[in-house]
Structure 1
Amino acid sequence: MLLSNLAKSDSFARLLDLKRPSVRTLSSTATNAFDQLLDLFNKGVSGSYNPTSKFEYLPYLFADLAKFPPISTHLISPSDPKDLPLLTTFTPHTSPPTLPLPLRLGSTAVIRNALLSVPAPLDNIPSLIPHLISPLLLPLIGSDPAFSEPETDLLPPELQLLGPEHVPETDLQVLNNIVESLFLICARGGEGARKSVRDLGAYPVVREVHVGIEDEGIRESVERVVQLLMGDEVEKPEDEKIVEIF
């Protein structure tokens, strides 16, 4: 929490360039402070670094740092095309709601902030979007979603048979982070990203969120996502500017 508060200062972005000796007890040979902290989070959250601490507040630090373009670029653009973007470090922690709230809230905030602040167009990073959609949709799906069979078939296989034990996210801040992340992917990723999001069944998922939630802010965010996903697919008269989305 202290580190997260320090990251409110712009000068704390220097963690990316702060050189340090490699740490024997971490899994990688990272020699900068940012990557060492990321390694600490990866090991800590599984309990393999310190069994008495899960380091679940560290995502708050990364969420604040992700607002800086050099760090968001570092998280989103892999140095080797064969590697996954570092941002995918946080995707296993978007769900289920039984995970500690700081872990879910911080991880979804990292994703949202990185998507917002990275200078490069997201469609220049084809390895990123497919790895984000399932983790972002999973917390939005209810245990008994009202999907048609064709809509269910669009979903990634891991989201199709969740079973009655699946519990959707209820925290409004986490939900807001997720919906805003979907919006940023659609808005900043170009038509290719929107097609990927559509093809992976996002529309019926966010539609059901809109039906089931009362918070007006999240409802408005969902409507913005749907306008991007479906608006260009609806034929409109020249004098009609509003797309009927629900």
Structure 2
Amino acid sequence: MPSQLEELVSFLHSDQPAVRQIALDNLVGFSTGANAVIFKYDNYRALTDLKILTKDKSKVIVQQSTTILANLCDDVTMRKLIIKDVEFLQYLSWKICDLTNASADIMCILLSNLAKEDTITGLFSFVKNQDDDIPLDKNVFKSTKVMDCLMDCFVKGYDRKLNEYATYDYLAYFFADVSRFKMGREYFIQAQEYDDVVPISKLLVFTEKYDSKTRREGVAYTIKNSLFDSEKHESLLLNEEINILPYILLPIASAKDSEIDEEDLFNLPDELQLLPADKVRDPIPEIICVHLESILLLCTTKSGREYLRSKSVYPLVRELHKNIDHEDIGEVSHRIVNMLMRGEPENQVVEEVVEKSAEDGEMDEAEQEEDEESDDDEAIVEVL
């Protein structure tokens, strides 16, 4: 006999709208923790019902059903079942780009949660179907690829500038997760056909958006993950249209870093030479650590180390270490100093050492699983 809660789950496919609404009202609170097991009733029928309800005309029903699905992603089996439905994944990703969608932000959370699965890379092949009922504003979106459109939502739509109901902040976590995969990293560091711009360059400005931890953290991890392909470092550092280094350094810099001497000061990137008096470091130490790990990854190659030395990165890191009492910051800072201040080894390969240093302490459960198909993905950071 099913329990009362399991019976309540079965009401999600009732023919009566009022009954479905009552079921949702009561089930949202049971979609997290141990209680989520009730959604496995009747061979996970609830997942199918909830996906159908995300397409309902009622804003409340859409938000509640999407919230439940987002919460259920904590269960690996249910997450795999949700993302296995390619048609639903297509609907979800395109619906986020509907600028009239009042539930876009909770859908961004669901999408970012689904991105824990390797099959999320299928999203890169989604192209707009002209027969699709979901509207796409051609004045905003110039590409028919959903990944490009999601990027436009994030970049152009912050602070509700495209959709009065959405900030698209949680797409930052989605970007961070897809950048764990080689296909994702290649997307972020290569110019895209529709606008001939390298996507990572669009994200850099958000490393200092101090009113949104979600944006800053997701972007910081996306930058770090994009740096795991060391052969791309030279382009990312020297291409003036990308100019990645200042945006990694600015969050770790403060106007109170007074002990940088004049010569080192004027070797810093232009953006860091005349900081305003109120310039402060990122208030979240964990985000500062991510940027330090990005610097450590840039130390992978000799040319990268030489470039960082020429830009006075060491004095800046020294000031950070001196002024911030935080164990992880101190540890990564020490590694950077070791890489930049020691002499160049003649016959020693340092790449593996640097990459291992960058990933230490940042591995989570998903990363600890062996990936037999690609060694690249083992070292990439996943944002949970």
TM-score under structure 1 length normalisation: 0.84
- Seen in structure 2, the aligned counterparts of structure 1 residues 9 and 25 have a Cα distance that, compared at 3 Å, is same
Equivalent position of 2:83 in the other structure: none
Unaligned residue ranges in structure 1 (runs of 5+):
235-246
Question: Which of 290, 300, 312 does residue 177 from structure 1 map onto?
Answer: 290
Q: Distance in 2 between matches of 1:12 and 1:142?
A: 38
Equivalent position of 1:18 in the other structure: 126
CA contact (8 A) 2:209 2:215 kept: no
Q: Distance in 1 between matches of 2:335 and 2:297?
A: 10
Q: Distance in 2 between matches of 1:51 and 1:120?
A: 41
Compute the displacement of 1:230 (Å).
Answer: 2.0
Q: Distance in 1 between matches of 2:230 and 2:325?
A: 34
CA contact (8 A) 1:7 1:65 kept: yes
Which is further off, 47-56 or 167-176? 47-56
Compute the displacement of 1:24 (Å).
Answer: 2.4
CA displacement, residues 181-220 of structure 1 (integer Å, 9 cap, x when unaligned): 1111121xx2222222222221111111111222222211
Question: Which structure is larger by alpha-carbon Rg, 1 or 2?
Answer: 2
CA contact (8 A) 2:317 2:333 kept: yes
Q: Distance in 2 between matches of 1:129 and 1:3?
A: 30
Is the aligned partner of 1:88 residue 2:201?
A: yes
Q: Distance in 1 between matches of 2:338 and 2:222?
A: 24
Equivalent position of 1:135 in the other structure: 247
CA contact (8 A) 2:192 2:199 kept: no
Is the aligned partner of 1:204 residue 2:303?
A: no
Compute the displacement of 1:79 (Å).
Answer: 5.0
Q: Distance in 2 between matches of 1:223 and 1:17?
A: 42
The 5 Å alignment of 1:160-239 reads: 160-187=273-300, 190-232=301-343
Count of aligned pairs: 229
Compute the displacement of 1:13 (Å).
Answer: 1.0
Unaligned residue ranges in structure 2 (runs of 5+):
1-108, 131-135, 346-384
The 5 Å alignment of 1:27-46 reads: 27-45=140-158
CA contact (8 A) 2:198 2:242 kept: no
Equivalent position of 1:237 in the other structure: none
Paired AA for residue 250 in structure 2: L
Q: Distance in 2 between matches of 1:52 and 1:121?
A: 37
Compute the displacement of 1:159 (Å).
Answer: 1.3
Q: Distance in 2 between matches of 1:73 and 1:181?
A: 17
Q: Secondary structure at the match of 2:168?
A: coil
Q: Calculate the aligned-residue CA RMSD, in Å.
A: 2.5
CA contact (8 A) 2:153 2:162 kept: yes
Compute the displacement of 1:96 (Å).
Answer: 4.7
Q: Distance in 2 between matches of 1:111 and 1:140?
A: 15
